[in-house]
Structure 1
Amino acid sequence: MPQVEPYNGTTDPLDHLESYRALMALQGSLEAMLCKAFPATLRRTARLWFFGLKPSTVSSFEQLGRQFITNFAAGRRQRRTSDSLLDIKQREGESLKDYLDRFTAATWEVRELDQSVAMSALKTGARSYRFLFSIEKSFPADFTKMLVRARKYAKAEEAIASKRSATEQTSKKQKRRREERSRPKSQSSRWNKNQPRLKSPPRPRG
C-alpha cells in the first residue's frame, strides 16, 4: 500500500491533503476515519497544530481540511492558470523537444487545464517552422493530439541535428588530414634527409 509523505508544515498543505484523500479513498475509509488517521501523517509543527485544536471547532473532515490549509497557507505554492501558459515561449536556439518538456511540465501545475488555451499557447510559443506549418494546414482536434504531433516533429528535428553534427565532424576530420598532408616538412627533417649517412668504423682485426 502506498504511503503519504509526512507533512511538517513547510510545504504545500493542499498537496498533502490531496495525497492523503487519494490514499484513504483506495482503502474505502469513512469520514470519521479520515479525521482519526490524519494526525499520523503530520510531523513537528503540523502535529502540534493538530493537537492544539479544540474538538468543538471540527465537525467534519472538510472543515478540518480548510483549517489545515488556512493555517499552513504560507507554504502553499502559487498555482498556475491556463492563461499563464501563454508566457512560455520557445527560446532562441532551444530545441522543440526542450520547449515541449518545459511546456508540458507547466501544464501539470494547472489544476483545471483549459485545452483550447493550452493549444493556443503552444502554437504561439513554438518557433519550429515545420510544426507550425503542419498545424496551420491541419489543426489538431485536441491538446493531446497536438502534443503527439509536436513530439513527432521534435524527434525528426533531433534526427536531422544528429545527422548534421555527424557530417560536420567527418568534414572536420577530412580537412585536418588534408592539412596535415599538405603541411611542409620541418627544416630539421629536410636537413637530416640531405646529410650523408655516417659509416660505422671498420672492426679491428684480431
Structure 2
Amino acid sequence: MSRPWRRQKVDAFTRRISDFSEDKRRHMPANVKTYDGTRDPDDHLKIFESAATIKNWPQPVWCHMFNYTLVGNTRNWFSKLPRRSIDGFKELRKAFRLNFTQRKKCAKIPVELAGVKQRQGESTSAYVERYKDECIHVKACPEILKISGFMNGINNPELIKRLNGRVPQTFEELMKRTRSFIQGEAAAADSKKGYSNYRSQE
C-alpha cells in the first residue's frame, strides 16, 4: 500500500512501451506545442523529433511524450488505435502520418469554411469538433478566416453575443473562450437540474 500507485493502462502501446519507467522526471520542451489536428502534422512531427533528439530520450519516452502532445480529435484517434499495436516511435509516427497527412491532402480552399454551419439540433460542442475537423482539410488558412467562419456558423445567440462583444484575435483564443462558455452552460444546467430535484423532494 505504501508504494506509488499507477493506474493500469490498456492502450495502443505494447507492454515494453507502456510499462517503461525511469526515476528521472521528464519535461516537455517549451517549443513543443499540443496538436489538435488543425495544423500541419509534419510540422508538429519535425518540432517534436528535434526536441526529443536533443533531450536524448529513450524510445519509450519518445512514445509517451508524443502521446502527451495529442489533444481533442487527435486524442480520440489515438484511443481508437488497435490494442498493443504500437511497439516503438517509428510505428507511432507512421500511424500518425497515415491518418493526419492523408486528411491534409484532401485540401479545400479557405472560403469553404464559410459553408460550415451549426446544424439544427447539433450541440455547440459537437459543432466545435466538426469545425476543427473541417479546418484540417484547409491548407494555409489565415486565422481571420477560421475565426470569421466559426462565428458565422454558430447559431447559439448567447455565444454569438459574447464573441462579438470582444472578437478573439486568434483561433486558439476563440476555442478557449468557446470551451469556457460550453462549460459554463453545462454547470448552469446541472445547477438548475439539482434545484429542480430539490424542489420536487420538498
Q: Shorter-chain TM-score: which interval? A: 0.3 to 0.5
Higher relative contact order (CA 8 A, sep 6+): 2
- Which has a greater percent of helix? 1
Q: Which entry has the higher C-alpha Rg, 1 or 2?
A: 1
TM-score (ref. length: structure 2): 0.44
TM-score (ref. length: structure 1): 0.43
